[in-house]
Structure 1
């Protein structure tokens, strides 16, 4: 048993030795399967003495020392031996001109380590031109007006319903309600008005009577005062006549108040009559403007309540002529748009094109999107456009100079910025960031380049900044 333990310990020690000190030989054995080279490497005393631990990770100066040690052991100074080549020992610096020339950088290499041989590319000579920088945004069509026609009073519908999709004109009857007892209420209100009107002459007569009595009291008072001055009337008589004057004045004031009350009664009765008449008018619900019925009108026999759960809904009307195009412009482009600017749109469904003018620009941005609402009015006499259709809107703005280039010329740099690669005066490729104005059938309109630029259109993905290129110009009509 002790013998087996000793053999196991020796095997483990040998394995660890090979893994630590003979890693190169072990890798060679794993690659080629040559077991003899592994055994010769392990049993070589010269290799074991001259190769330090972790020889693969030693610095260049340590490698030189190992090589000198191997040479001093009798292998000579005229280059490396076969055993050194097989064992993977590094060669002494300066001993082999062929090795030095192989390690030296190539003569045609640049300082940055890149090959200076020009890369062949295809480029286009482009000139900036003045283009219409339209503001492009996504939007939708919207009815000029949309109203839910509601009942203002309660009652049962007694009219035949109109079906949705029908054109209606302003003032056309949509729903009619049963008047019920409203006609009797109107007659009562008118009777009260007549009664109030009859009270006015009576009140006016009472006022005239009170005024006459006041005048009589004043005459009696004046006579009593004159008689009292001559000693022919007592002070009691004078006081009595003065009291009569004051009573007459009070009677006149009361008569005036009665007359005003009678007149107020007339106004109240007139208001009552007008209220009943207005309620009777509200029994007939009419269209507020020319438009299209979006829903059926209320069914015959249904009960409409102004304050009910349904809200007394009679019908929904929309006005589609003219139609509105609604979009939201980012704050970076809102200053490019003015009221009255020409605008066009292409509908997503069918690709139909429409034109109009900007009629509204919001002064307040949306809190969530930080965009501004704009409205464009377009004619829709034949009602071919519908409410809620998606549209691509273009709004005219001041022109700007841009380059028309093929879309294939666009590329991204290491930072993810959109741009193109140009050729400078030294025939070196350079990246230039650009801004995309819009896409056209002939290419893309870009800003951010000089007035004249040589833009790489083929091969830009195979070069980086400061790489020399061999340009083949491609003339593309702009």
Structure 2
């Protein structure tokens, strides 16, 4: 065989055996490749861990706040009620008789003791004169019995009888004078005639109504105050009322009930106001405002109010360490310029921008809100 062919065969067999042994490395040393793969795996794990930490870390929210300080404010208690006359009296006949004269008509103003209706005197005046004549007779008899008793010509019993007869005659005169006075129905106080039921010629029995007289100066404005607020006002304190007819009046508390209405658990309260000339009418709807003791409160915009997760009305503020706090508040008064609330600390940093995007316990990045920032 040709030497060249033999050499070629030997070389081919050797190369084949070498390849089969697995000693060929197309990417470098195998140990170095293993180290590189491990490093790559570790780098990927570190990157994944860093990404997870970034996702779990809470995001700090930026908010704006304003500083607020509490101010003394007089509390106002608003009660709905109505006007009432100070006194309303139905005058009634005390004796039976026929109406002889009417002195006052419906709507007339009267003074105390002014006559309103007069009854026919008839024989009452004659009966008074008869009683007076009897008194004069009894006085003569009494004086005579007295002299005789002193001289011992008359017993003590006879003297006592004369004394009793004189007293009885005087009592009859007094009764007749009262009867004559009852024939004239007079006004018990200053007021005006709201109704008159008797006319000239009417025969009125005792106990029948004659007229209704009303005293509305001063005027009362009454309402019902809740059991939670009744202790905040007292008799003599100031108050005001706005009537549905447009008038605004001021006065003082005249009466506060001691017993609550069993159905509403409220107490009657009366505000007494002047009503010169009877310009204000009774029975008109009114809104009464009472002045109560002063409290510390904050004046702010209603736009700052928010609700917590339970639906409680309040305000969010920046507390220590820039942690959000929620303060439930109560609205004391609502004005065109803002609202008065209580329930906050004396000094507080209220969140005025972003309060609806944070919750109590969140850490925030606060920034002082100034007027220029809003323009």
TM-score (norm 2): 0.74
Give the drift of 1:446. 0.7
Is the counterpart of residue 399 in structure 1 residue 304 in structure 2? no
CA 1:201 to 1:345, structure 2 compared with 1: closer, same or farther past 3 Å? Answer: closer
3-state SS of the aligned residue for 2:192?
strand
CA 1:130 to 1:176, structure 2 compared with 1: closer, same or farther past 3 Å? Answer: same
CA 1:296 to 1:126, structure 2 compared with 1: closer, same or farther past 3 Å? Answer: same
Is the counterpart of residue 423 in structure 1 residue 366 in structure 2? no
Deviations 1:127-170 (A, max 9, x none): 21122223333333322222222222111222236332221122
User: Following the alignment from structure 2 to structure 1, what is the Cα–Cα distance between the partners of residues 53 and 103?
Assistant: 94
Task: Tell which deviates more after alignment, 453-462 or 287-296.
Answer: 453-462
1:136 match: 78
How many residues matched?
325
Is the counterpart of residue 333 in structure 1 residue 229 in structure 2? yes
CA 1:208 to 1:471, structure 2 compared with 1: closer, same or farther past 3 Å? Answer: closer
1:357 match: 252
1:287-326 counterparts in 2 under 5 A? Answer: 287-296=187-196, 298-306=198-206, 311-326=207-222
> Quick one: which of 121, 124, 144 aligns to 1:182?
124
2:21 match: none
Kindly name which structure, 1 or 2, has the bigger radius of gyration based on alpha carbons.
Answer: 1
Give the structure, 1 or 2, with the largest relative contact order (CA under 8 Å, sep 6 or more).
Answer: 2
Is the counterpart of residue 267 in structure 1 residue 163 in structure 2? no
Unaligned runs of 5+ in 2: 1-43
CA 1:189 to 1:126, structure 2 compared with 1: closer, same or farther past 3 Å? Answer: same
CA 1:155 to 1:460, structure 2 compared with 1: closer, same or farther past 3 Å? Answer: farther
More strand by share: 2
3-state SS of the aligned residue for 1:397?
strand
CA 1:150 to 1:121, structure 2 compared with 1: closer, same or farther past 3 Å? Answer: farther
Give the drift of 1:475. 4.8
CA 1:154 to 1:414, structure 2 compared with 1: closer, same or farther past 3 Å? Answer: farther
3-state SS of the aligned residue for 2:113?
coil
User: Following the alignment from structure 2 to structure 1, what is the Cα–Cα distance between the partners of residues 80 and 370?
Assistant: 35
User: Following the alignment from structure 1 to structure 2, what is the Cα–Cα distance between the partners of residues 475 and 146?
Assistant: 60
> Quick one: which of 220, 234, 243 aligns to 1:347?
243
> Quick one: which of 389, 394, 400 aligns to 2:284?
389
CA 1:108 to 1:454, structure 2 compared with 1: closer, same or farther past 3 Å? Answer: farther
Deviations 1:25-58 (A, max 9, x none): xxxxxxxxxxxxxxxxxxxxxxxxxxxxxxxxxx
1:365-376 counterparts in 2 under 5 A? Answer: 365-376=260-271
Give the drift of 1:405. 1.8
User: Following the alignment from structure 1 to structure 2, what is the Cα–Cα distance between the partners of residues 106 and 178?
Assistant: 110
TM-score (norm 1): 0.60
User: Following the alignment from structure 1 to structure 2, what is the Cα–Cα distance between the partners of residues 155 and 183?
Assistant: 14
More helix by share: 1
1:116 match: 59
1:166 match: 108
Task: Tell which deviates more after alignment, 268-277 or 455-464.
Answer: 455-464
1:14-33 counterparts in 2 under 5 A? Answer: none
1:84-123 counterparts in 2 under 5 A? Answer: 107-109=54-56, 116=59, 118=61, 123=65
> Quick one: which of 73, 91, 102 aligns to 1:149?
91
Q: Would the aligned equivalents of 1:361 and 1:374 in 2 still touch at CA under 8 Å?
A: yes
3-state SS of the aligned residue for 1:346?
strand
3-state SS of the aligned residue for 1:196?
helix
Unaligned runs of 5+ in 1: 1-96, 213-251
Aligned-pair Cα RMSD in Å:
3.2
Q: Would the aligned equivalents of 1:161 and 1:300 in 2 still touch at CA under 8 Å?
A: no
Q: Would the aligned equivalents of 2:240 and 2:289 in 1 still touch at CA under 8 Å?
A: yes
User: Following the alignment from structure 2 to structure 1, what is the Cα–Cα distance between the partners of residues 52 and 117?
Assistant: 96
Give the drift of 1:124. 4.1
CA 1:354 to 1:196, structure 2 compared with 1: closer, same or farther past 3 Å? Answer: same
User: Following the alignment from structure 1 to structure 2, what is the Cα–Cα distance between the partners of residues 159 and 122?
Assistant: 83
